Every structure is written in C-alpha cells, then in structure tokens.
Chains A and B, each alone.
Chain A
Amino acid sequence: MSKPKLALYWASSCGGCEIAVLAVHEEILNVAEAFDIVFWPCVMDFKVKDVEALADGEIDVCLFNGAIRNDENAHMAHLLRRKSKIMVAYGSCSSEGCIPALANFTSRDHMMQYIYHDSPSADNPYNFEPMPTWEVPEGELTLPKFWNTVKSLDQVVKVEYYLPGCPPEAKWTATLVTAAAAALAGKGELPPPGSVIGNTDTVCDECPRERNQKKIKRFYRPYELKEVDPNLCLLEQGLFCAGVATRSGCGALCPQVNMGCRGCYGPNEGVDDIGARLISGIASVLDADTDEEVNAILDTLPDPAGYFYRFSMSHSMLHRTDIGHTLQRSGDQG
C-alpha cells in the first residue's frame, strides 16, 4: 500500500510556520515515515508542475500557511485545494489573516504610495513601483497582482481544519498529523470538518498569574515599567494582554515571560469577533466612571484596533476598512 501524501505550502507568510513544522522534533521522522511528502518548496526541490501533474484529490493532507494577498497566493490555494482531500489552514495567517492582514486597515494604493515614495527611508528617484506587467526587449515580464484586501485561506477556498498560532505550537501539529495518519490508515477518526485543532478555553485559563479585581488608571508599554510583578496578572499591572479572549493551547508562553498575550491563537471557541471580546475584557479593568476618565486612560492605549485585531483582521466582523471608497478607487478584487 502506498503511503498517504502530504503537501506543505507557504503563501503570504514569514516562514515561521515552516520552522514550526520542524519543531515537532523527532516526530518529524514519524511524519516522513507515515507520509510521502509531495510538495514542500521551502525545504525540498519541488515545482508547481509537480503538483499540477497529480490527480485531483491525490494529496491527502495539505498544510497551507500564509495569507492570501495576491494572484499567485490565490492560484496556489485553488490548485492545492483541488489536489487535496484535507486542506488545513496552518498558522494564524491562513487561519485569520495575522500580521499581513493588518494591511486591511489601509488600502493597496496607500501602501504603495507610502512604501515606494513617502516613507523616510524610501530612495526612489525614478518613482518605480511594482507593475503586474512590464515590457522589456526580451518580452513581457509579469508579477502576481497585489490585492487590496488580505484574505484568510477560508475566504478563498474551502478549508477542513484550522491550526492557529503564530506559529502553531508543535504539539498541535503533531496531534493533527498523527490523527490524520491514523484516520487515513483506518485506525481512527478525524474531528468534524471546520474544527480548530486546539483547546477551547482562553489563555487566562492556562496562565499561572494571580488575578484580583484590581483596576488600572493607565496602560503602560512594556518598556515604561521598571519592574513587572512575575506573579500578578499583567492586565492588572497596566500591560496590554489579550489572554482574556485568546484561545489557549500555547501554555501561556508570553505571559510567563512578562509579555502580554498578543492573541495569536485567535478567539476562543464560540466567539464571533475577538476584537469585541477584547473590548469587553479590557474595558473591565479601567478604573473610570465618566467619559473623560475613560478617555484619559484610553489615551495611554494607542492603536486599540491594532492590538485587538493583530492576528484576526481578516476574520473580524467588519473586515474591510475603507468602505466602498477603496473598492471604487482600485476597481478590482476587494
């Protein structure tokens, strides 16, 4: 009997997820033993034509990391979807947009303008900008078209499982891969499609720090505090922590080293919008009773939307910024 086939791909991502796959350590040997790796451009020499040569549905499991932000990402997502039985949104980018999707706070035109012309470090005397096509004497050069909106994988193709995290913790990768291998060998069952592979509760539930009912008069950036109490809830010390609304599964790694949870596992089970949840959670520690007092405290929390949707912008309930104007201006896919 031939081994089940595994594919890994990165779209708009940093490459951290690829490393996270290897962080399963010796478990990777079991993966290599249980699966035939048919596509993994980061690690092995495969070409897109190798995937195209496969029959539809021939890949058993595809771990797809990275958000979808250009035509090439979307093309690969559609191609791998067609060739795969189980499509896994691996990591925060493909699950809910992650850092790339923070671009959804602005528009493509605005980004291009800033990056290539307005930023202090821009040195662009000829006013170059990347073009989708360009004529040179040798012929036409092309670049994938850059989208105005960064999308999560499930906004482009159907996804069976989500494995959030930036990057996902190795134990969940191992859980998924072993479960898939067992199921494909007929020795086990996979969770229902649409499931998130991970815990259902919040980072607070895993966090060993002590919580009281203390309220705060201002927020601090980590460098503004001389000392952080290692045993007391970070939020109660004025440090922004997204643990109250973030899915657990990481073992509260960040809070344990005095760094507030950043929210990379996305919202916990049953939450529609992590931002709304965080607003409730964060507002509950404010020691203020009037608009003025509240706003004085909130002035010390710059960029609240950036904090709340740092990893989940594509999945936020209001997941487009410029409302209509952007669409009309750029005139193509949202």
Chain B
Amino acid sequence: MSENGKDFDPVLVGFLCNWCSYRAADLAGMSRLGYPPNLRDIRIMCTGRMDPAWVLHALRNGADGVLILGCHPGECHYVEGNYKAIRRINLLKRTLKQLGVEDERVQLHWASASEGVQFAEIVQRATDQVRALGPLNWKRNLQDSSDLAAAAGAHLAHEGA
C-alpha cells in the first residue's frame, strides 16, 4: 500500500453503536451495497460510551481518520448517549485541530438500523475526504522523533564519557 498520491489507501477506524449504526452496517452488507473497504468497524454499546482517548489511540497507532456513528438524536437506546457524544466529539475536534489534525479526520454521524444506504454513503464520503487529505502518519512521526532522540542520546553519552 503506497502512501503517496493516488495510490494512498486510508485506514479509517469506525466506532459504531450497537443499536443503530452497527445494524446499519449489517444492513448495508446484507443489501450487497458497495462501499470502500477502508473502514475498520468496532462495535460499542453507545456513542455515549465513546472515550476521546480511543480516538487518540486510533490516530496515534496508524489510523488516518476516525468515524463515530450512532443513533439519531432523540433515538438513543439509552435515551441521551448520543447527546453526550455530540458534546464530547465537538470538544475533541476543537482540541485535535490545535494539535494539527484536520477537521475531516474525525467525524460524528448518525445512521439508524434501517439506513444501510446512508451508512454506505457516509463511509464513502469520509473515505474520499480522508484520501484527499493524505496520510496522517502519526506513528511514523513518533517513531522518527524518538529514534533521533535515542541517536542523539548515544552521541551525547559518547561525548560525555
């Protein structure tokens, strides 16, 4: 998988709520709908349980984008979990922007259990957007900097001896 230009195939991690969006994904599959295979689905019970740290984990460990999908507002299985997600993810996105992560890399969307088509569209659109942005490469960057520091440390230790 090349990371330059048109060949770049983004890795998206999806956090899908058990009651709506995961079933929308199931429906999209059962309906034989075509959509990009770039999304790695993780089923969570509710977007209200979505810990911002999971998004950071995903981005740090190689994801180019993160999709969080839940029930439509007002339709949460746990009444208000998705409202919690709205508050949290908006604040997370503002924070990530300051850290240099573009807005489109983390997205919060709704798809009910009957919205297989909409689910496929969301994934298609997000994949296109992240592909246009290019790779995030956070992990490689972390690796690079720590390697360089280790090399510098060895050099300094040698100098000091």
Contacts and interface: CB of A to CB of B under 8 A. Distances in A.
Interface stretch (A16-24, A165-173, A183-191, A298-306): A298-306
B153 A334 contact: no
A273 B160 contact: no
B84 to A, nearest CB: 7
Contacts of B96: 318
B27 interface: no
Contacts of B159: 75
B98 A303 contact: yes
B149 A105 contact: no
A323 interface: yes
B160 A78 contact: yes
A71 B156 contact: yes
Contact of B146 (A155, A273, A286, A303): A155
B91 to A, nearest CB: 5
B156 to A, nearest CB: 5
A285 to B, nearest CB: 9
Nearest to B98: A305
A314 to B, nearest CB: 11
A304 B92 CA distance: 9
Interface stretch (B18-26, B31-39, B53-61, B120-128): B53-61
Nearest to B88: A283
Say what secondary structure dominates the interface of chain B: helix
B1 interface: no
Contact of B91 (A74, A283, A289): A283
B51 A78 contact: no
Contact of A284 (B87, B95, B136): B87
A333 B145 contact: yes
Contacts, number: 132
Contacts of A71: 152, 156
A123 interface: no
A332 interface: yes
A273 B96 CA distance: 13
Interface stretch (A4-12, A91-99, A130-138, A274-282): A274-282
Contacts of A295: 90
B78 to A, nearest CB: 15
Contacts of A308: 95
B145 A273 contact: no
B91 A327 contact: no
A273 B95 CA distance: 13
B157 to A, nearest CB: 5
Contact of A332 (B87, B138, B148): B148
A155 B96 CA distance: 22
A151 B73 contact: no
Interface string A316-334: 1111111110010000111
B101 interface: yes
Nearest to A286: B87
Interface in A68-89: 71, 74-75, 78-79, 82
Given A155-B146, A284-B84, A333-B145, A323 B137 contact: yes
Contact of B98 (A105, A280, A288, A320): A105
A52 interface: yes
Interface of B: 51-53, 55-57, 59-60, 73, 83-84, 86-88, 90-92, 94-96, 98-101, 136-138, 140-142, 144-146, 148-149, 151-153, 156-157, 159-160
Interface of A: 52, 71, 74-75, 78-79, 82, 105, 149, 151, 155-157, 272-273, 275-277, 279-280, 282-284, 286, 288-291, 294-295, 298, 303-306, 308, 316-324, 327, 332-334
23 contacts: A74-B153, A79-B160, A105-B98, A105-B99, A155-B146, A156-B149, A157-B153, A276-B51, A276-B92, A280-B51, A283-B88, A289-B73, A289-B83, A294-B90, A294-B91, A303-B98, A316-B56, A317-B56, A317-B60, A320-B141, A333-B145, A334-B145, A334-B149
Given A282-B91, A320-B142, A333-B145, 4 more contacts: A71-B156, A74-B152, A280-B52, A298-B94
